Structure 1
Amino acid sequence: MTGADNIRNSIIDKLLTISNKDYLLALYKLVSTSNINEETIQLSEAQILMLNMSEEDIKNNRIVSQEELDKMDLEWLKSL
């Protein structure tokens, strides 16, 4: 994870512990008025390739439901 990802995750963890509605509303307004939506994120060639592969999987119905994935994970964990 990058430094930005670590900071973001830390903020999210702290937000989950806040129950004061006014405080959360103030934070929401602060984040909503920032210009983060104007930032364009540049994807690497590998990320673009992975997204294109995902689209092809979806088009060709090569998908697994969350329930199926959970079962597969449990089976894998049992085999360890």
Structure 2
Amino acid sequence: MESFESIQNKLIRAISKSSDREKIFSLWEFWNGKNSNSSVAEPNSFYNSERPMTDEEVEKYFKEEEIVLPDHVIKMIELGMDDVKNGRVYTEEEMDKMDEEWLK
């Protein structure tokens, strides 16, 4: 992880080199707490190009991926489901009692 001083120096250089008035004013307002409140809201955009995603972009971005589990994992899940189905499980109280005995 980068050191605090390194990040601080990079930030100072970026501000010094920037000619983007909107960014500088937004940073100044953020730093001075002018935009801070306890309500939940969308963050102020630093970029004019920021826009809401289209429905197609949302679908593409949040597309569900097919997850393929290895055979040994599927077998373990099936064994666990069989244990539940046949009552080979412990109650929370039984587990707490086992934990207490184990910790003695």
The two structures have a TM-score, normalised by structure 2, of 0.40
The two structures have a TM-score, normalised by structure 1, of 0.50
Larger Rg: 2
Greater relative contact order (CA < 8 Å, ≥ 6 in sequence)? 2
